[in-house]
Every structure is written in C-alpha cells, then in structure tokens.
Structure 1
Amino acid sequence: MSQEYASKQPQGFKNHVTKVAIVGAGGSVGRYLAESLVKTGKHQVTAITRADSNNKLSSGLKVQKVNYDDTDSLVQALQGQEVLIITMGTTAPPEQHFKLVEAAAKAKVQWVIPNEWGYDTENEQIVKDIPFSDRKLPVRQEIEKLGLSWIGITCSFWYEFSLGGGSDRYGVDFEKRTMTFFDDGKTLINTSTWPQCGNAAASLLSLKVLPDDENDKAPTLSQFRNKMVRISSFTVNQKDMFDSVLRVTGTSVDDWKVSYEDSRARYKAAAEEMQKGSFSAFVTVMYTRIFFQDGAGNFGASKGLDNEALGLPKEDLDEYTKAAVEYAKAGKLY
C-alpha cells in the first residue's frame, strides 16, 4: 500500500483521533490507560461497562453501560467512537472479544487496540507453550477481515504486579522472604509498569494519523497499522530485580532464603499440575516460560522497542520495586 498523506485527503479530514472507548477501564491496566488518555486533554474517553458493574472509574470518563449478550447494546455504546481499547483478563471468554469487534465494525469504529498487554504473541513458540495465547491471532485477523485497523501493545508482564505477586511470578515472596531464581537468574526479560502502559496508549493515540506530506517524518498512527507496538520499562533479569529488592527493603542476602530451579523442569512440573485444574500452576507456566534461555522474554533485543518513537519516559526500577512491596503488603495483587 502506498503512503497516504493528510494533505491529499478530502476536505474535512481530521488527522487526530479524539474519541476513545475502553473496555475494562476500571481494571488493573485499564485504569492507567483511562487516566493517561484523559490527562492529555486531547481525548474524550468512554468507559464501556456491564450494566451491573460496580468498578470504581477514574474521573473525567463518560460511562456507557452495556449488555454483552445484546449486540445492539454494544453497537449503540460504540457509536461515534474512533478507537476501541480492549482490556480483559487472560481467561475472559473468547466470544466477548469477537462480539466487541463485530460491534465496533457495525458502529464504524476505525481502530481497535485488542487485548494484548503482555508477552510477545507474535512469537510462535511462545503461543504454543503458553495456554490461551492462540486466542490472540484470530481476533486480530477478524479485525482486519471486518475492514478495521488494529494496533497491539506488547509490554510483557507488569513489573509491580509480577514482583509483588508471589513466587509464582518473578520468584519473589516478600512475606516469606524467599527468592527463587530460574536457572542462574541472569536471563534478561522486558517488563513494564502499569503507568508506562498508560503512557504508551496516550502517546500512541496522540500521534497524527497520517504524515502531513512527504517531508513529514514524525511518527504517526498509520505507521503502526496492523502491527505491534513494543514497549518496556526495564530490561532486567532476576538478579537485577533482587538487588533492587534488597536496596528497597534495606535487607541483605542473608535475610532471605535463596534457591535455584531449572526453568524447563519448573515449567514441565507446573504444566502437569495445570492439567489437573490448578490456576496457580497456569501462572507458573506462563511466567516460567518467559525466562527460558531462548531470548523469548527479551523481545526488545530481537525486534526492537518503540519507547523512543512514543517519547516514553525512563523510569526508576527502585521506585516500582517499592510499589511492588506496598502492593504485596496490602494484598492487592491476589
């Protein structure tokens, strides 16, 4: 497809998106997306929620209550929207995503940011190894089939959530003061904070849709059409994380019980438990797979990051380690 320019568009063409609808605006990452979009002052943000939802929403949002079993309800809620952002839990019913995409097409929404928000789902081996990952591609394909455009945001696991969420995730258990390293603990991965995900969505949707003309080299929304935007707050390994934990908590290695596990053996054992219906085993499978020594968890090294193009801020690791400690103390992550 040849490059389009704003200067060549019909009269009345608007080169920015302003109306954004979010599914899951009261959830973990959705809340940060909503807050960041509102703060730009460039967007009118609508939270799409169930009629019976009691989620606390950020100020500055318009609210549209819907019935997911009623397509007309969804279409009506999405009328006039230019962008639909979907944030749902990993185990959300797949049909909900397709219902939303179908409704978006009927409402003539132009852009969909589908339910990615995690590891690299364009890595075929990862998709094979982590349950539910194969649900992502069909949604993206359906979006294109219906004539809409999608942009996926790959951010890897959320740092403060994962560090503070117990040993099943990044190996740290603050309550028991245990640290489990996978293999040697030196496998680098990408990881992002919730605020950085919000920054990324707000920066992305603040870009011009098209370059003004052939001399305009600034980043645009169209350059990411039907592609992944890859971001990362930190490229770190477990040793880096643990060093930060020691600094933040004012403890030494001697205050912790440290152990090492072979990542592939850990993954295999958890996969067997998952077959028996254990959700915690699913979490272990998902996280451990990212730490295999095959580079899958460090997509920035193999595919590059879009932090610079989006003008994302550099963050302080210890600041978000502190947040993880507080979240763990409050029990907010379980």
Structure 2
Amino acid sequence: MSSANKPTAPYKKIVVVGSSGTLASYFINAFKQAGNEFQVTLLTRPQSVNKLKQQVNNLPQFNIRPVDYNNETELTEALRNQEVLLSLLANEGLAQQPNVIRAAQKAQVKWIIPSEYGSDISRPALRKIPFFADKLKTRELLESNKQIPYTYILTGIFADTYVSPLFKWNLNTRNVIVPGDGNSKNSFTPRQDIAAYTLAILRRLDQYRNATVRVASHTLTTNEWVRQVERASGSKFKVQYESAEQIKEQIQKRKIKSNYDHAQVQDELALTLAEGESLISWGNNRLDSDKLPEVRPTPLDQIIIDSLEN
C-alpha cells in the first residue's frame, strides 16, 4: 500500500510509556519512518534520557520527557493533553502499568493501548499463570472504566527472541528442548513487525474501540521451527522432547517450594507452546493481519538468520 493510500490516523499525539524497554527501539524506528505523521512523546526515567536522545537524533516529531513512574501527580501531568497512551512496558515493568493507566484516566487521554503484546490472556489456561497476573490487573482496570476506549493488540510470541535460552534453545551446543510433541501450532511475530502493525492500527483506531486486534507474522509448530533452523544453520540439532505432564510436574514442584524464578517462567512458556495456548487465532477468533495491508511480515528465514548471527 502506497503512503498516499494509507488511512489518516484519527489521533496524532502519541505518548509512549516504557520508552527504554525491549520493544521501544523498534517503535522508535517505525515512528521515524512515519515522518511527521505522529507527534510522539517518550516518557522515560531520568537516567535513560541521554540514550533516547541518541536514538531520536533531535527529530522534531519526538519529545523526550523524564518522569518518575512512582509519582502519580507527576505522571498525570506528563500525560495531560495527550491523545493516545501507548504502553510498551516490558514484563518486569508491568506491575507499574495499573498506576500508569490510572494516571492516564485522570489526565483524560482519549485512547489507551496497554502492553498486551504476546499471547491471548483471555484463554482460560493462561489466566491461571502468574506470569500474566499484572496484565490481567490492567485489563480489569481498563474494562471497568467506561469513559476511555482501549485496544488490545495480540501478536503471539516474539519471533526474533524465540531461538534463545528463554525457550530452551542452545545455539552453541546445537541442542533444543521441545515442549510436548512439538506439533502444536503457535503464533509468532518479530518485534519490528509488531511496531509496524501497531502503527497501522493507530491509523484505523476508531475501528477498534474496546476491541482486540490479532496479528501474527507466522503460525507454525516447534518441530517446523527446528527444521527451519537446521536448514538455515546447515547443522542438525539434538532434540529432546519434554511432555506437557513433565513440565506441569516441574511447575508444581516449584510452587510447593514457593520459588517463582526464571526457570518457572521458562516452564510456563514451554507449557503454552506444548498445548498450543500461544495460538492467537483460536475458536472463532481470526487474525486481522490482512486488514493492515501496508505491513509486510518479515520472512521467517530472515528472522532465523538474524537470530543465529546474534
């Protein structure tokens, strides 16, 4: 889709929370490519200001504003006169998201896009996982407020982080632990595509009032991932299969010890893959990717090559 045929965004003033998180640099690049289409205020902690200045290169469409996320009065003032709150808070920052939402409601922003990127936490199995607890709190807060519309954007797993130790890949030893039988399909989207899809959604925001938008660049099984990685790397991987029952036993043992740590997060993510719970097009839910024709998904081969090189 040419720029001349793109819809005109109903809201231009975007305030970004989580400007130094894992997604932010991809969004900054996407906003740069959009030129003066949006006026973007990047909220950040004071210690991250210089890093952001280097990223935006004094471009006039960006404004950097340091803020104390624990100071609700200061946060509310920073959000005042903004139109869309776009939260990019990473997992470790999601406990603060309800505070940000309350400040946005006081500041009377016109629309809220929370940090929902990832799996569909409306699935009953995922609502029980501690990893998603903070996102559920944010949803409850948004859905109880009838004044400010919101949009949830679901993307599945970040494809460009999938071939990594977090998902039990070891590129040095060419080993991978595959959850379940490896045949469950799940949704995957790289972070650069997530940013592109989000800007496309911002251009059509009035179509997604209090709605969920489902976008995915790729839908495939873990076994298909292994074959693709082997082909791209030119080497065989030693595959160990870990059943859903084994994963559940490991999670239960950690719960008994009250030891919620990185290993349990790994197991919880593995369980979602084993059971296909990270598939966002489930039941009557369909992907909305084809409604955003200006976004061309990054080819899977390119995602894998970049992962292997990094």
TM-score range, shorter chain: 0.7 to 0.9
Q: Distance in 2 between matches of 1:321 and 1:112?
A: 33
2:83 alignment partner in structure 1: 82
TM-score for both structures, normalised by structure 2 = 0.87
Q: Distance in 2 between matches of 1:81 and 1:32?
A: 21
Q: Distance in 2 between matches of 1:323 and 1:270?
A: 32
Deviation at 1:276, TM superposition (A): 4.4
- Give 1:319's aligned amino acid: Q
What do you get for the CA RMSD once the two structures are aligned? 2.1
Deviation at 1:268, TM superposition (A): 2.6
State the aligned residue count.
Answer: 292
Q: Distance in 2 between matches of 1:29 and 1:184?
A: 31
Q: Distance in 2 between matches of 1:118 and 1:201?
A: 13
- Give 1:262's aligned amino acid: S
- Give 2:43's aligned amino acid: I
Q: Distance in 1 between matches of 2:180 and 2:99?
A: 42
1:34 aligns with 2:28: yes
Q: Distance in 1 between matches of 2:176 and 2:77?
A: 50
Given that 2:45 and 2:67 are in contact with CA atoms closer than 8 Å, whether structure 1 keeps it comes out as: yes
1:134 alignment partner in structure 2: 133
3-state SS of 2:130 partner:
coil
Q: Distance in 1 between matches of 2:97 and 2:107?
A: 15
Q: Distance in 1 between matches of 2:193 and 2:154?
A: 12
Structure-2 change in CA distance of 1:69 and 1:28 (3 Å): closer
- Give 2:203's aligned amino acid: S
The alignment-based identity, stated in percent, is: 25
3-state SS of 2:274 partner:
coil
3-state SS of 2:40 partner:
strand
Structure-2 change in CA distance of 1:15 and 1:21 (3 Å): closer
Deviation at 1:15, TM superposition (A): 6.6
2:225 alignment partner in structure 1: 241
Given that 2:14 and 2:40 are in contact with CA atoms closer than 8 Å, whether structure 1 keeps it comes out as: yes
Deviation at 1:26, TM superposition (A): 2.1
Deviation at 1:192, TM superposition (A): 0.8
Structure-2 change in CA distance of 1:77 and 1:301 (3 Å): same
3-state SS of 2:157 partner:
coil
Deviation at 1:324, TM superposition (A): 1.4
TM-score for both structures, normalised by structure 1 = 0.81
Given that 2:10 and 2:206 are in contact with CA atoms closer than 8 Å, whether structure 1 keeps it comes out as: no
Q: Which 4+ residue blocks in structure 1 deviate beyond 4 angstroms?
A: none
Q: Distance in 2 between matches of 1:45 and 1:229?
A: 22
Q: Which runs of 5+ in 2 are unaligned?
A: 1-7
Structure-2 change in CA distance of 1:197 and 1:53 (3 Å): same
Given that 2:158 and 2:188 are in contact with CA atoms closer than 8 Å, whether structure 1 keeps it comes out as: yes
2:191 alignment partner in structure 1: 194
Pairing 1:145-294 to 2, within 5 Å after superposition: 145=145, 147-163=147-163, 165-166=164-165, 168-169=166-167, 171-207=168-204, 221-251=205-235, 253=236, 256-273=237-254, 275-293=257-275
1:44 alignment partner in structure 2: 39
Given that 1:81 and 1:109 are in contact with CA atoms closer than 8 Å, whether structure 2 keeps it comes out as: yes
**More helix, by proportion:** 2
Deviation at 1:271, TM superposition (A): 4.2
Pairing 1:306-317 to 2, within 5 Å after superposition: 306-311=288-293, 312-317=295-300
Deviation at 1:229, TM superposition (A): 1.1
Decide which moves more: 134-143 or 281-290: 134-143
Q: Distance in 2 between matches of 1:132 and 1:196?
A: 24
Decide which moves more: 147-156 or 84-93: 84-93
Q: Which runs of 5+ in 1 are unaligned?
A: 1-13, 208-220, 328-334
Deviation at 1:56, TM superposition (A): 2.6
3-state SS of 2:29 partner:
helix
Given that 1:91 and 1:132 are in contact with CA atoms closer than 8 Å, whether structure 2 keeps it comes out as: no
Deviation at 1:69, TM superposition (A): 2.6
- Give 1:304's aligned amino acid: R
Deviation at 1:124, TM superposition (A): 1.9
